[in-house]
């Protein structure tokens, strides 16, 4: 699932490299890269988690499933529907993309949703692997507009340490779980090799962009308002971003060595990710006009 997304797309690339036959699922199969449609080991199919018939049709004859779903208030219902369809069609192993601190009493609502889904997965009786990655480096691009137009990162994390991971490393671990019996069946907390605080991220971006970037730290309520009013985020997502940043302040994050242990190489670094993706943080002519 999620073959058009950051992690699912990277997993598809990895499975193609490994020569593993697979089905790439999307609600918009025409959006998948044309080179993928020419790969003999890949079948491209329409599937929508909101449409159980489409799921049952596409799971027929498949043995394993990579389960990922973007965050939304419907996430538990949709992922539950996917697990039910997988059970109905005899899928033998599910690799689920979850989140850190997935626990019933987590202060982060989305982590509680993932905990509920993990419980559904356990109750299904299907063998499963759970991946609990920390913040995706790929989502840092969402800071790009403010970095480009105001020279600023805005948050409510103070200088709290935060784990980041490149989605391509999550995908490589997912591929290992799908192809290696020694990895399948575990629950893995995934991080990069070191933490970064927002002030440090601002310094790093200043160096890479060769222009001063400052970190603006707001109180939690003001940060939530900023996300709703300036970034036009829905309330549930503004709540989520505020909750995870406050959690990082209250419970300092630490890296794990899980990616290196599973893959036999260190995780990709934040420096190299930002260097590859600096365009997302650069001032375009349009961005200059907004200033
Ligand atoms: N962002 C983070 O830092 C972070 C950290 C830890 C954990 N996570 C977890 O990672 C998961 C994935 O998050 P993400 O934001 O990266 O999502 P994403 O992978 O970008 O999700 C988008 C993918 O989901 C597919 N999709 C959306 N709705 C669907 C539906 N109804 N049926 C079938 N496929 C559907 C989309 O495919 P089509 O549009 O092509 O159908 C697309 O490929 C979330 O559950 C999140 O909690 C995220």
Strands 162-165 and 152-155 come out as unpaired
Q: What is the helix (H) or strand (E) element at residue 24, kind and residue range? A: strand 22-26
Q: 52 alpha carbon to ligand 1 midpoint, in Å?
A: 18
Burial of 178 (0-12, 13-18, 19+ CB in 10 A): buried
Instruction: Specify whether the CB–CB gap between 192 and 164 falls below 8 A.
Output: yes
Output the residue whose Cα is nearest ligand 1's atom 25: 2
Is 27 a pocket residue for ligand 1 (Cβ < 6 Å)? yes
**Domain range holding 158?**
136-164+192-252+268-291
CATH code, 84: 3.40.50.720
Residue 257 included in any domain: no
Is 133 a pocket residue for ligand 1 (Cβ < 6 Å)? yes
Instruction: Specify whether the CB–CB gap between 7 and 27 falls below 8 A.
Output: no
* Cα R_g (the chain), whole angstroms: 20
115 in the same domain as 27: yes
pLDDT tens series, the chain, 291 aa: 999 999 999 999 999 999 999 999 999 998 887 778 778 899 999 999 999 999 999 999 999 999 999 999 999 999 999 999 999 999 999 999 999 989 999 999 999 999 999 999 999 999 999 999 999 999 999 999 999 999 999 999 999 999 999 999 999 999 999 999 999 999 999 999 999 999 999 999 999 999 999 999 999 999 999 999 999 999 999 999 999 999 999 999 999 999 999 999 999 999 999 999 999 999 763 344 343
Per the DSSP assignment, residues forming a β-bridge with 25 are 45
What three-state secondary structure class fits 15? Answer: helix
Q: Which of 225, 268, 218, 270 is nearest to 245 (CA)?
A: 218
pLDDT of residue 284: 65
117 in the same domain as 74: yes
Q: How many structural domains is the chain composed of? A: 2
Q: 5 alpha carbon to ligand 1 midpoint, in Å?
A: 6
Chain Cα centroid distance, residue 177:
17
242 in the same domain as 276: yes
Structure tokens that stand for 179 in this block: 């192809």
Integer Cα distance of 19 and 205 in angstroms: 38
Q: 4 alpha carbon to ligand 1 midpoint, in Å?
A: 9
Integer Cα distance of 115 and 113 in angstroms: 5
176 in the same domain as 150: no
Structure tokens that stand for 221 in this block: 């309520």
């Amino acid at each position: 699932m999620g073959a058009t997304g950051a992690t699912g797309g990277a997993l598809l690339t990895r499975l193609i490299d490994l020569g593993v036959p697979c089905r790439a699922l999307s609600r918009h199969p025409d959006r998948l890269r044309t080179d993928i449609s020419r790969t003999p080991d890949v079948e491209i199919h329409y599937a929508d988690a909101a449409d159980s018939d489409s799921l049952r049709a596409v799971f027929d004859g498949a043995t394993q499933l990579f389960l990922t779903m973007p965050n939304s208030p419907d996430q538990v219902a949709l992922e539950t529907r996917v697990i039910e369809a997988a059970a109905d069609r005899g899928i033998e192993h599910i690799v689920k993309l979850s989140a850190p601190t997935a626990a019933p009493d987590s202060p982060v609502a989305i982590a509680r949703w993932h905990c509920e889904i993990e419980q559904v997965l356990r109750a299904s009786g299907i063998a499963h692997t759970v991946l609990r990655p920390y913040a995706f480096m790929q989502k840092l691009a969402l800071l790009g507009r403010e970095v480009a137009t105001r020279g600023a990162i805005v948050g409510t994390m103070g200088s709290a340490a935060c784990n980041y991971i490149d989605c391509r490393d999550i995908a490589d671990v997912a591929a290992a779980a799908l192809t290696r019996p020694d990895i399948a069946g575990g629950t893995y907390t995934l991080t990069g090799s070191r933490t970064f605080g927002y002030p440090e991220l601002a310094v790093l971006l200043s160096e890479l962009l060769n222009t001063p970037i400052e970190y603006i730290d707001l109180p939690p309520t003001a940060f939530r308002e900023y996300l709703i009013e300036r970034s036009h985020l829905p309330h549930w997502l503004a709540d989520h971003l505020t909750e995870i940043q406050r959690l990082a302040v209250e419970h300092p994050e630490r890296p794990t060595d899980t990616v290196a242990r599973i893959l036999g190489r260190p995780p990709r670094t934040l420096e190299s990710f930002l260097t590859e993706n600096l365009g997302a943080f650069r001032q375009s002519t349009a961005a200059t006009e907004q200033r």
